[in-house]
Structures are given as structure tokens and as C-alpha cells.
Amino acid sequence: MGTSYFAYATQGAGSNVQTLRSSDLVHWTAGADALPELGKWASAGSTWAPEVVAVGPRYVIFYVAHDDKSGKQCIGRAESASPTGPFADTASSPVVCQSDLGGSIDPDPVRGPNGELYLYWKNDGNCCGYPVRLWGQRMSADAAALVGKPVPLMSNTKSWQGNLVEAPEMVRHGDAYFLFYSANDYASEKYAVGYATCQAPLGPCTDSSDQPLLSSSAVAAGPGHCYILQLAGGRTVMFFHAWPPNAIGSQSPGRQLWWEQLDWKAGKPSMTPPQ
């Protein structure tokens, strides 16, 4: 049986969670809405940034939607027996909702080196004039609940980051942990990807990017919200979205899915601009 790759995206084309499937990472086929019904706590119209993790024989999707109680964007959780869905959210409230910090978005579920699960996210402070940080917290073995307390990992302290960091993506390479993130205005050519180096899955983390790791090129503007995939044979690739340079901020064609090779030089990530 061949390998299948699945991609999940923010709402669009009549779906809450758009899906794509590929056997070679080059040719992709659109699938059905992975989350046709939101949780009871949420209302449609602002379903963002889904990510999926396999937990035993089932799949868990974390997604962002408008929380009716707080009026903020918050993170929900749904399950399915298939990576294509449909996923079902049976909870009466979001998993993470820092309403006093502007809400919570951009979930990133990650499995640690010993099988433990973590969830990373951003508090949506830039929506409402609050400071913005990236957070992490341990999850239960079934990814049904958060364990312990949330840990702030980093904030926007570099000039190129503008007023936010977001879209965390924690990756282990060797004995080190790298927290990739996006920063600046997503609807501009200034949006870009950086990374912090962390001592453990919940930090402490040190921002390593005085300049972005991945930024706009002549063919892809505002690259961001990355996902790192380790391929067989040791090759690493980074998936991200980017605008056509002549259509930044457009509804059509909008942001498009890209991937480029990510290299490790002297134990640190290295990339060339999109070609």
C-alpha cells in the first residue's frame, strides 16, 4: 500500500476545513469537508488553521472557530476514524480560549520523543491590543485534555516581526528543539518565517531569527504558517502558504500551498527563497 499525504486548510470553497490528498507531494486531489459541523460552542464563518495528529487508531483535529460565549477566536478539538473525516466535535466548549488575552488560535499538536503529546498555539492579542505570545502545554495521552499549566515560550521582540508572532510549529532535530513561527502581517509581503531554539518541548526558548529564515521571493510573497515534514531517507521539507506577488491579499487565487527543502547546517535550519 502506497503512502498518502493529507493537507488541511482554513475554510473556503464551501467547507469549514478544506482537504487535499497526494501520493507524491506534487499532484493533489481535493477532498470533502473534514469538519462539516462545528462544535456546539462555535459559529461558522471564521474556521481557521486546522492541524491533525494520529492518536492510536483515531485522528484528532484541532481547529480555530468563533466562540459564541466569549466572542473570540478559540481552539476546538474533534475526532474521526479516518484522516479524511468527517471529524466530530462533541464538546460544549473550546479546548483553549484565552479570552482575556484576545482568544487563542493556530493550534499545533506535536508528539514528543517518548510518545507524549503537546499542544502549541498563539494568543490572539493583536486582535484587541494585547501582547502576543506563543504557548505550549502538555496533553493527555488521548489528546482529549490539557495537563498542567500553559507555558509562554516567546513573543515578538525582533523588528521584522511587526506586532505579532503566530503559527507555532515545534520540531525536534537531533537533541535540539526548534520552534518555527510566522510573523508580521499575513496579507503583505512582510510576512515571513523565523525560528527559536528550545531546550525542551516546553522551553525555555531563545529567538534565533534576527532576520527571517524564509521570506518573500519573486514568485511567492508573504510565505508563512509552516508545517515541517520529515521524509523517508532523512530529507526534510517545509510546507507553507504564500501569495502570488501580483495578487497579495486576494480572495482569488488567494494563498497557495508551497513546499521547499529545509536543510540542516551545523545543526541549524537553512532555506533558500521559493523558486
Counted domains in the chain: 2
Neighbour count for residue 43 (Cβ, 10 Å): 11
Summarize pLDDT for 111-170 with one digit per residue, the tens.
998 999 999 999 999 999 999 999 999 999 999 999 999 999 999 999 999 999 999 999
Non-local CB neighbours of 136 within 8 Å, separated by 6+ positions? 118, 119, 120, 150, 151, 153, 168, 170, 201, 202, 203
- Angle, vertex CA 138, rays to CA 135 and CA 143, nearest 5: 115
Residue 131 shares a structural domain with residue 182? no
- Angle, vertex CA 160, rays to CA 193 and CA 243, nearest 5: 50
Neighbour count for residue 107 (Cβ, 10 Å): 26
Confidence band, pLDDT 50/70/90 cuts, at residue 254? very high
H or E, element range at 175: none
Q: Report yes or no on 161 lying in a domain.
A: no
Write down the pLDDT at residue 1. 44
Q: Report yes or no on 43 lying in a domain.
A: yes
The distance of Cα 253 from the centroid of its chain, to the nearest Å, equals 21
Question: Region 187-201: what's the mean pLDDT?
Answer: 97
Residue 129 shares a structural domain with residue 176? no
Task: Answer whether 0.85 is exceeded by the pTM.
Answer: yes
| Last residue of one domain, picked from the residues 155, 188, 209 | 155
Cell output for 140: 493527555
Residue 204 belongs to domain with CATH number: 2.115.10.20
Burial (CB count <10 Å: 0-12, 13-18, 19+), residue 176: middle
| Last residue of one domain, picked from the residues 103, 121, 155 | 155
Residue 33 shares a structural domain with residue 92? yes
Cell output for 270: 537553512
Question: Region 32-37: what's the mean pLDDT?
Answer: 98
Give the domain extent around 64: 1-155
Summarize pLDDT for 35-91 with one digit per residue, the tens.
999 999 999 999 999 999 999 999 999 999 999 999 999 999 999 999 999 999 999
